[in-house]
C-alpha cells in the first residue's frame, strides 16, 4: 500500500474515532484523565492484523489498567461536522456510518467501572458474534476467525484442551 494511502487511512481512522459518541460510549481516553494512551486500541488491532495473523494479548495493546473487556453494540451517533474539510477527513460510508446504525464498541472495565471505550469504525477491527462479554484480562488473547463470507474478525482464543480443567465430577478420577 503506498505511503499516501497509509497516511490517509491513519488520519481517517483517528478522525473517525474522535467523532462524538453516544452516551453509552463516550470516552476515547482513560476515565482517570491520564494521557497514557495517545493512540487508540482499535488502531493497534488494525495494525496488528496488517502485520501478522498470530494471536495477540489485548493487554499488550493497552497502556492503562483494566480487569476485563467487552464488545457491545451501540448507535453510531452523530456525523462529524468537518467531514472532507481540506481533504484530510474522509467521508467514506464505512468510516462514517449513518446515525442510528449499530456499530461495535470496545469497552474496558476496572473494578466494575468503565475505564476506556472506543467505537470500532473499521471492518478489520470488528469482533465475531457472539461478542465478548466481561473477558478477564488473563484470558484476553485475540485470534483471527473468519465469518461466513471469509472476512477476518477478532475472536477470543479458547483454551486448548490441555489447559481446560475436567468437569468437577471427573476431577477425582485424575487424582485432582
1, 43, 52, 99, 139 from 156: Cα distances, Å: 29, 18, 16, 29, 8
**Region label for 83, one of left (φ > 0), alpha (ψ between -120 and 50) or beta (otherwise):** beta
Q: What does the block give as the cell for 29?
A: 481516553
As a whole number, mean pLDDT of residues 77-94 equals 57
What's the whole-model pTM score? 0.65
**Per-residue pLDDT tens for 26-57?**
333 444 444 444 478 999 999 999 999 999 99
Label residue 97 by pLDDT band (50, 70, 90): confident
Highest mean pLDDT among 29-38, 83-92, 141-150, 153-162: 141-150
Nearest to 154 by CA among 171, 138, 135: 135
- pLDDT (0 to 100) of residue 159: 79
Residue 109, beta-bridge partner list: 68, 114
Amino acid at each position: 500500500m503506498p505511503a499516501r494511502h497509509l497516511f490517509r487511512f491513519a488520519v481517517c481512522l483517528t478522525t473517525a474515532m474522535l467523532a462524538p459518541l453516544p452516551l453509552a460510549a463516550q470516552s476515547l481516553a482513560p476515565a482517570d484523565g491520564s494521557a497514557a494512551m495517545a493512540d487508540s486500541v482499535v488502531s493497534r488491532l488494525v495494525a496488528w492484523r496488517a502485520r501478522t495473523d498470530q494471536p495477540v494479548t489485548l493487554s499488550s495493546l493497552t497502556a492503562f489498567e483494566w480487569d476485563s473487556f467487552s464488545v457491545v453494540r451501540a448507535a453510531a451517533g452523530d456525523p462529524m461536522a468537518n467531514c472532507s474539510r481540506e481533504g484530510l477527513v474522509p467521508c467514506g460510508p464505512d468510516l462514517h456510518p449513518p446515525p442510528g446504525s449499530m456499530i461495535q464498541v470496545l469497552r474496558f472495565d476496572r473494578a466494575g467501572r468503565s475505564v476506556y471505550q472506543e467505537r470500532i469504525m473499521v471492518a478489520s477491527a470488528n469482533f465475531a458474534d457472539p461478542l465478548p462479554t466481561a473477558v478477564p484480562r488473563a484470558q484476553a488473547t485475540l485470534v483471527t476467525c473468519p465469518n461466513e463470507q471469509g472476512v477476518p474478525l477478532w475472536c477470543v482464543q479458547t483454551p486448548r484442551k490441555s489447559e481446560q480443567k475436567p468437569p468437577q465430577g471427573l476431577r477425582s478420577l485424575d487424582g485432582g
